[in-house]
Amino acid sequence: MIKNDFNDNVVSEFLMIIPKLEELDIESFNKDITELYKKYTGYNYLVIENLPYEEIVNLLKPSRIEDYTRLLIVATLIFLEGIKLEDYFRMMKSYNIFNTSIEKGLDTKESTFKIVFLKILESLRDFELPSTLYYQIFNHYKYMGEYAKGEDCLYELIELDSSYQNHLQEYYEFLLILDDNELENGGLNKDEVEESLREL
């Protein structure tokens, strides 16, 4: 319990820093991010920066401990750097760290880093992506209850690859099973879903 409370405090402190980082010019950002890597991971920025995402996961997520704090902080810093530099590869590195964490057991629906992950997904959709990645993003939205975003993403995917057209009916039928509150929390309502299903 003490460990969890400590991690919660670390995460809360870190998430409060993000808006300030986003407002910095690139020179100040680079200075601050170097210090933040050291503070939150114990590692030098260049050590982390030069590692592929798989090695970052192995370094910062001990296999027997269900603690993703340091790993997701690094993923967030890499993403913020990607936004500052308009660097697709950094954004993808950040996404891959999150995605690997999910495969290892991270629940993004309950994670305090959910808002960061949503920003990563939104940013990636500004690029030309392979259809398999688009489909992954759609499924992340669906799992996290971001149903309107999932619908938009699925239509974008179909424009990219029409073979995914059959997933629309499946998705709308899934949405109709949900209770009204859950659906509305995800940005849709039953009337909209029923109308969209009729129009297919």
- Mean pLDDT over the full length of the chain: 92
pLDDT at 66: 72
Q: State the alpha helices, DSSP H only, in the chain.
A: 2-23, 26-41, 45-49, 53-60, 69-85, 88-103, 114-124, 131-144, 147-160, 166-177, 180-185, 190-198
Does the pTM exceed 0.75? yes
What is the percentage of the chain residues whose pLDDT exceeds 70? 95
Whether 1 shows a pLDDT value over 70: the answer reads no
pLDDT at 130: 96
69, 122, 132: which is closest to 95 by C-alpha? 122
pLDDT at 9: 86
pLDDT at 128: 94
Neighbouring CB atoms inside 10 A of 25's CB total 8
Residue pLDDT, tens place only, 129-186: 999 999 999 999 999 999 999 999 999 999 999 999 999 999 999 999 999 999 999 9
Question: What confidence category does residue 2 fall into, taking pLDDT thresholds of 50, 70 and 90?
Answer: very low
Question: What confidence category does residue 61 fall into, taking pLDDT thresholds of 50, 70 and 90?
Answer: confident
- CA-angle at 53, arms to 156 and 76, nearest 5°: 70
Terminal CA-CA length for the chain? 51
pLDDT at 8: 75
DSSP 146: -
